[in-house]
Amino acid sequence: MDGGTTAVLRRPSAMEALKRFDVYRKIPKDLTQPTTTGAAVSIVSGLFILTLLVTEFMSFLSIDVKSELFVEPPLAAGKVDKIPVFLNVSTPKLKCEHLGLDIQDEMGRHEVGFSGDTEKKEINNGEGCLFTTSFQINKVPGNFHLSTHSAQQQPDEINFGHEVHSLTFGERLEGSAAQSGAFDAMKGTPLVDGDGWPSFDYYMKIVPSIYQARSGSETRNFQYSYATKSYSSFGHGHRVLPAVWFRYDMSPITVKYTEHRQPFYHFITTICAIVGGTFTVAGIIDSMIFSAVNIFQKAQIGKLS
């Protein structure tokens, strides 16, 4: 052997070999320089990120409702869908003993004085009536109307001034995201004056609706729009008894509402984009400001070249 030194090669440990894959190399603090501008940019960036994170989290918790239109296939011959109806109306100047509900449709149904699920409550010291009822109609054009036709004795004066508190078709929606004024379009309508024996017509266009919750459950109900008019009718030389008519027609188009919520992976992706993007843009802004300040300082002392 000669008198030189012999180098001994040491194989890196497993931990040292693993560290080679670190793409986030750390810079010692004594090699970095904090600045007031950098601190300001960092604070603003942090507040900006926090605001976006809160906004995105609220969006993630909210439920989005999407709608689509389609035509439902016809039923088998001889079958007709039934639609539940709920009606709540008051007649301040017509007593309960004179008030009744009649139902008609194009399939030949003609029912005078419907007395099923009906409740009458006296108001205005017995001079008026709060009329609440629920019944079913066939899914064909028709009408139901409040009248005195079923009364055992007609009153001397018939005043059909009224206020519709609620009128809904189909299953009741309670606290649903799809619930809107279109499902109870007449709710909260002002009191209509009935002096002079007028009749009242409400013309309604009913649109079948399906609401599908995120759980997969479906609720079938009906939206509707309406127009109204009042008039006095005469026949055979005498005045026809007034009434409050609710005439309806069915739309062939069905609206389906489906609840959606943002997927969790989309939420995580957005959060990463917000944090990473904000820090990247803030770093660029901070570098630009730092470089501009350095150039300005060098220009002041004549060392710009």
Domain that holds residue 287: 35-62+262-305
Q: How many CB atoms lie within 10 A of CB 254?
A: 16
50 within some domain: yes
Contact 179, 186 (CB under 8 A): no
Co-location of 244 and 297 in the same domain: no
Co-location of 92 and 225 in the same domain: yes
Co-location of 171 and 291 in the same domain: no
For the segment 284-293, what is each residue's pLDDT rounded down to a tens digit?
Answer: 888 888 788 7
Co-location of 269 and 130 in the same domain: no
179 within some domain: yes
Co-location of 136 and 275 in the same domain: no
Co-location of 246 and 266 in the same domain: no
127 within some domain: yes
For the segment 35-60, what is each residue's pLDDT rounded down to a tens digit?
Answer: 787 888 888 888 998 999 899 888 88
Q: What is the reported pLDDT for 77?
A: 67
Is a pLDDT exceeding 70 seen at residue 23? Answer: no
Co-location of 198 and 278 in the same domain: no
More confident call, 279 vs 163: 163
Contact 123, 114 (CB under 8 A): no
For the segment 55-110, what is each residue's pLDDT rounded down to a tens digit?
Answer: 988 888 888 778 888 887 776 666 778 899 999 999 999 999 999 999 999 989 99
Mean pLDDT across the stretch 20-48? 78
Co-location of 199 and 289 in the same domain: no
20 within some domain: no
pTM of the predicted structure, to 2 decimals: 0.68
The pair of three-digit structure tokens given for residue 273, joined into one six-digit string: 């984009």
Q: Which of 240, 227, 258 is nearest to 70 (CA)?
A: 258
Co-location of 199 and 214 in the same domain: yes
Co-location of 190 and 176 in the same domain: yes
Q: What is the reported pLDDT for 174?
A: 58
34, 66, 204, 206, 279 from 70: Cα distances, Å? 63, 14, 20, 15, 47
213 within some domain: yes
For the segment 105-132, what is each residue's pLDDT rounded down to a tens digit?
Answer: 998 999 999 888 899 999 999 999 999 9
Q: What is the reported pLDDT for 20?
A: 77
Q: What is the reported pLDDT for 181?
A: 76
122 within some domain: yes
Q: What is the reported pLDDT for 178?
A: 44
Q: What is the reported pLDDT for 240?
A: 78
235 within some domain: yes
Q: What is the reported pLDDT for 66?
A: 84
Domain count across the chain: 2
Rounded distance between C-alpha atoms, residue 56 and residue 274, angstroms: 10
Q: What is the reported pLDDT for 180?
A: 59
Co-location of 152 and 242 in the same domain: yes
